């Protein structure tokens, strides 16, 4: 059971990345280049690169060069981390965890101080029912803040969500740096769960729950961004399929 839940958490992470990449592509196709780069993408790119910086500090990797934002995106150049293999995974995937946490902080601020209403969402997606609960919560959020009790601050929240979600996924270079380590970690995780070694399973399950919380937050952000992007997606499909 735990092995299946572990693989579901991994699948959630993959879905989060794919949705982010898809939305980034569609928005880039539908908006004027300068509008997309400077208005929509810039804040998210800066946060994305800051997440890599945090990953470097966490793993002991010496930072050589930082470009927080440019027309071609940002970049962080660093030396080999002190933690072999796992260090590159942490640095490359840092935005997958940092950006949802930042959005969770934004959610708290908008809820506590700006009057927005956010239904409770599942902390971990470890079953198909969790996905349905998450989807229902996202729909309820739009309904409460737009139709039931209109709150103009909610649109600022949606802007922050879309700019951050578009930069949520690791870049191609990030994936290249981390893919070998990710595959090794997934295989090792399955083997540990199948081994039923009590102490190893207990530790890995705690780590899986923690990572799953990040991916659940990311998926929730992705679903919000998908709803925001419906007009953009329809326009893209009409332009290319109509």
Q: Is residue 78 part of a domain?
A: no
Q: Is residue 240 part of a domain?
A: no
Q: Is residue 138 part of a domain?
A: yes
pLDDT digits (tens, 9 = 90+) for 68-105: 998 888 899 999 898 877 888 899 989 988 998 898 89
pLDDT at 1: 64
Closest CA to 91 of 46, 57, 40, 44: 57
pLDDT at 26: 92
Structural domain harbouring 148: 2-40+94-235
Low-confidence ranges of the chain (pLDDT < 50): none
pLDDT at 161: 93
Q: What residues have CB less than 8 Å from 51, skipping those under 6 apart?
A: 94, 95, 97, 98, 99
In terms of phi and psi (left: phi > 0; alpha: psi -120 to 50; beta: otherwise), the region of 79 is beta
Q: Is residue 131 part of a domain?
A: yes
Q: Is residue 73 part of a domain?
A: no
pLDDT at 164: 93
Q: Is residue 194 part of a domain?
A: yes
Q: Give yes or no for a contact between 151 and 112, defined as CB atoms under 8 angstroms apart.
A: no
pLDDT at 242: 60
Its pTM stands at 0.86
pLDDT at 24: 92
Scan for tokens 């990040």, then name that residue.
214
Q: Is residue 209 part of a domain?
A: yes
pLDDT at 153: 96
H or E element at residue 66: strand 63-67
pLDDT digits (tens, 9 = 90+) for 173-184: 888 888 888 888
Sequence-separated contacts (24+) of 56-62 with Cβ below 8 Å: 56/81, 56/91, 58/90, 58/91, 58/94, 59/83, 59/86, 59/87, 59/90, 59/91, 60/87, 61/87, 61/91
Q: Is residue 81 part of a domain?
A: no
Half-sphere exposure of 30 (CA within 13 A, CB side): 19
Which residues is 78 bridged to in the sheet? 63
Number of domains in the chain: 1
pLDDT at 178: 83
């Amino acid at each position: 059971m735990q092995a299946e839940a572990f693989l579901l958490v991994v699948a959630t992470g993959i879905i989060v990345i794919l949705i982010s990449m898809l939305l980034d592509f569609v928005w880039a196709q539908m908006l004027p280049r300068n509008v997309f780069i400077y208005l929509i993408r810039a804040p998210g790119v800066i946060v994305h690169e800051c997440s890599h910086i945090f990953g470097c500090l966490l793993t002991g990797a010496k930072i050589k060069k930082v470009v927080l934002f440019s027309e071609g995106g940002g970049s962080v150049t660093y030396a080999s981390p002190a933690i072999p293999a796992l260090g590159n995974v942490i640095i490359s995937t840092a935005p997958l965890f940092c950006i949802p946490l930042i959005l969770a902080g934004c959610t708290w601020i908008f809820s506590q101080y700006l009057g927005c209403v956010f239904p409770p969402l599942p902390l971990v997606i470890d079953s198909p029912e969790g996905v349905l609960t998450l989807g229902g919560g996202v729909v309820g959020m739009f309904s409460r803040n737009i139709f039931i009790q209109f709150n103009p601050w909610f649109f600022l929240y949606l802007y922050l969500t879309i700019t951050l979600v578009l930069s949520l996924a690791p870049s191609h270079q990030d994936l290249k740096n981390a893919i070998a380590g990710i595959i090794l970690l997934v295989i090792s995780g399955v083997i540990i769960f199948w081994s039923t070694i009590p102490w190893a399973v207990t530790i890995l399950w705690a780590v899986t729950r923690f990572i799953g919380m990040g991916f659940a937050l990311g998926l929730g952000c992705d679903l919000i961004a998908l709803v925001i992007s419906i007009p953009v997606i329809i326009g893209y499909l009409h332009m290319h399929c109509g």
